[in-house]
Copies of this chain bind each other. A is one copy, B any other.
């Protein structure tokens, strides 16, 4: 900028304003400046600009696992909305660990991100981290997981509805002994379990306690959990799995045991990850509109960052949608 100013015999300020299309600059000067800037190959220095404006045009996206295609899709949605606005997105992986998440968020804040979108790995009820964020006035939006008792912006699907939708579908398909491979003790895992229970109760079904087994987020855990279920007597005839990776692992175990999916055992997952259709048995699932979650969260965060005062916490629920494929189609 100094060079441009010198060459053109104007002040540095004039250049600065021209470059940013500031209003009070003559059309002619602006053109001269822009042209010369191009000739010199001028590249604005965002670091310096950020230091002066206290705005970085960077938003942080904290997710538990990039490898889980649900989150990769969310990330894509976020990017699609923010990039046209001139924002850059920094993705941080918390590996499902609360401490790692806290550290990553610290780092993002040290780099002065303008806002955060977080799919939190904090255990349910531990909302200290987010209270700190609020105190520091960092705009943030939670997605997918909603730590209990926290008034914060949130975009996601009602997990209890997911549980009900999936379980009722299995019931409609004629399953009577429905098991659940549950997820971790975070809002998603808890909500889906609750939905599973509610649907069973509503239809007068009762499952023995052993029918609820614990998985994690990944397919190996689904495989393990399903092997446990297969040892039970009577054996379940339908299983609602916490998510699609878990369901994929579960299917593997069932087939290995020489049983048929869906006839011996119907299976349904949640998330509709993009390869669900290509699995051993195409997987029935509950779609969560992952990229829509990302886009919606981005819009909401953009609003918050514009606003002078923080608007009251808003919760946006994306409706879940049943996707029936072969793994649960018995009639």
Contact = CB atoms under 8 A, between A and B. Distances in A.
Interface of A: 43-48, 50-51, 56, 58, 66-67, 69, 72-73, 75-76, 79, 88-91, 93, 106-107, 109-112, 219, 248-249, 251-252, 274-275, 277-281
Contact of A46 (B46, B91, B112, B252): B112
Contacts of A88: 90, 107, 111
B56 A66 contact: no
A46 B278 contact: no
Contacts of A76: 66-67, 93
Nearest to A111: B46
A248 B275 CA distance: 9
Nearest to A282: B280
Contact of A66 (B44, B66, B251, B278): B66
Contact of A79 (B69, B93, B219, B280): B93
Nearest to A73: B67
Nearest to A103: B83
B219 A278 contact: yes
14 contacts: A47-B47, A47-B50, A47-B112, A58-B111, A67-B72, A67-B76, A72-B72, A88-B107, A89-B91, A248-B278, A252-B277, A252-B278, A278-B280, A280-B281
Given A76-B67, A88-B90, A249-B278, A111 B47 contact: yes
Contacts of A44: 110
Interface centre among A69, A73, A219, A249 (most CB of B within 10 A): A69
A65 to B, nearest CB: 9
Given A45-B110, A46-B112, A278-B248, A91 B91 contact: yes
Contacts of A252: 277-278
Given A43-B109, A66-B66, A67-B69, 18 more contacts: A43-B110, A44-B110, A45-B112, A46-B112, A47-B51, A47-B56, A47-B112, A51-B51, A58-B111, A76-B93, A88-B111, A90-B90, A91-B91, A219-B278, A248-B278, A252-B277, A279-B279, A280-B281
Contacts of A281: 280
3 closest A-B pairs (Cβ-Cβ)?
Answer: A248-B278, A46-B111, A66-B72
